[in-house]
A and B are shown apart, each in its own frame.
Chain A
Amino acid sequence: MDAPKTAEFAHIGKSVIIKGELSGSEDLFVDGIVEGTIELRNNNLVIGPNGQVKANIHAKGVVVQGKLDGDIRASQRAELRKSAVTVGDIFTQRIAIEEGAYFKGKVDIQQDAPKPASTQSSKPETDAKITAPGTTASASGVSAGLGGSGGGSMSPHTSVTKV
């Protein structure tokens, strides 16, 4: 999975805290704190190096660089980078784990995982919907995060052990 450019990924910066259900129809880069669930069935999720996610994740592709406590259901691919600390089960078609990644849980490769529906729309929704009450985020933190000013850009990964 290529490094997310701000324009292509919705961006949750490292000062942002979200508690609740997080869902959307565009790719998402999380570098803050998320607790709850993350539903991006036809899109990709990247947990950045500062990201701390305590949630079950349902997405097309998932890349973990930070901390994740929860299950991953990735219809296409799951990647754990060397800085990843992942506790939870992984259900996916393909998995790649870099040397140095910490993982505790089950890996269940599902060869016949259902392919995501085609979502090649020209205009993705601009905001990820935060659907549940109880969401907390400071206004300044959200704007800083969505603007991408605090998150920084991902450096391209160098080596990944692929399955």
Chain B
Amino acid sequence: MPKEVAMASVTHSFMKLFRGPSTESAPEPGQGARPPRASQRLTRRSSGLAELSRLLQSEEPLCVLDIGSTSAANIRYLTERGHKIYSEDLLDASTDPSLVIRDEQGHGTLDHKRFLAENLIFRNAQFDIVFCWNLADYLDEDLVKPLVARLWSMIRPGGMLLAFFHTQEAGPDAPCYRYHIMGSDTLEMQHIEARADMRKGPGGQSARSPFRLQRVFNNRHIENLFRDFASIKFFLTRDNIREVLVVR
């Protein structure tokens, strides 16, 4: 399986002192990293998006799936270019308390069959592009592999999927962001903050705690996760994120 690893920036080591890609200042000595405010938006360049933009420039209307948080910016960006967009917030859907079941040992686990029966139901849809963003890092372990298998079946041959994975340096408290497409290679990151009054989903279930980083994938884990795909390309960035572009 061919793969390319973009060389990290020469300032990568220096930038490790700072969390995030923005102009935020480093925390003062003795203080932990302050979580970003929900209103604060960070801009980052995305090599993965830049690669996908070549496809998005095509005149033929594409079928695009965005499984991050509802983003008006993404809907606007893609529909302005004549593409159809399907939007479904799977991270929010995974917080449905009714998905929790007991396994044979009595441990709580998520019912991935029910999750897939209730989500990503797009009959006859074959997607050209899927924006997975950082979903795999924050999604419950029980759902990740079944989700990737479902996505494989929904992407047309030659279609692409873009996903972001944290690196080891990110730390367990890495904030969860939603991503807005602002340009052909530019993303705006918005911190997803849990609020007691946050209404999410048609069932009204609310996320009362922030989304926590569930795991950190290494390159081998990522390759295994997408082993059914034709090719995989890695882009290392300065902000402790690996961008991964896979081709069905």
Contact = CB atoms under 8 A, between A and B. Distances in A.
Interface of A: 67, 69, 83, 85, 87, 95-99, 101-109, 161, 163
A102 B89 contact: yes
A105 to B, nearest CB: 7
Contacts of A104: 70, 87-89, 202
B14 interface: no
Contacts of B122: 106
B86 A95 contact: no
B84 interface: yes
Contacts of A106: 84-87, 122
Interface string B176-218: 0000000000000000000000011110000000000000000
B87 A105 contact: yes
21 contacts: A69-B202, A85-B201, A87-B202, A95-B75, A95-B76, A96-B72, A97-B70, A99-B72, A101-B70, A102-B70, A102-B89, A102-B200, A102-B202, A103-B75, A105-B86, A107-B86, A161-B72, A161-B73, A163-B75, A163-B76, A163-B80
A161 B89 contact: no
A101 B85 CA distance: 16
Interface residues of B, number: 20
B79 interface: yes
A98 B75 CA distance: 12
B227 to A, nearest CB: 29
A99 B74 CA distance: 12
Given A87-B202, A105-B86, A108-B84, 12 more contacts: A67-B202, A97-B72, A98-B72, A102-B200, A103-B87, A104-B88, A104-B202, A107-B79, A107-B87, A109-B79, A109-B82, A161-B72
A101 B202 CA distance: 11
Contacts of A97: 70, 72, 75
Nearest to A108: B84
Interface in B75-104: 75-76, 79-80, 82, 84-89, 92
Shortest 10 CB-CB distances between A and B: which pairs? A97-B72, A161-B72, A109-B79, A163-B76, A103-B70, A106-B86, A104-B88, A107-B85, A108-B84, A87-B202
Contact of B72 (A101, A108, A109): A101
Contacts of B92: 102
Which of B80, B86, B122, B200 has the largest count of A CB atoms less than 10 A from its CB?
A: B86
Contacts of A107: 75, 79, 84-87
A101 B76 CA distance: 14
B151 to A, nearest CB: 16
A109 B78 CA distance: 10
A87 B202 CA distance: 8
Contacts of A103: 70, 75, 87
B76 A161 contact: yes
Contacts of A99: 72
Contacts of B88: 104-105
A159 to B, nearest CB: 11
A107 B86 CA distance: 6
B79 A95 contact: yes
Given A107-B87, A108-B84, A163-B80, A102 B201 contact: yes
A163 B85 contact: no
A96 B70 CA distance: 12
Contacts of B89: 102, 104
A88 to B, nearest CB: 10
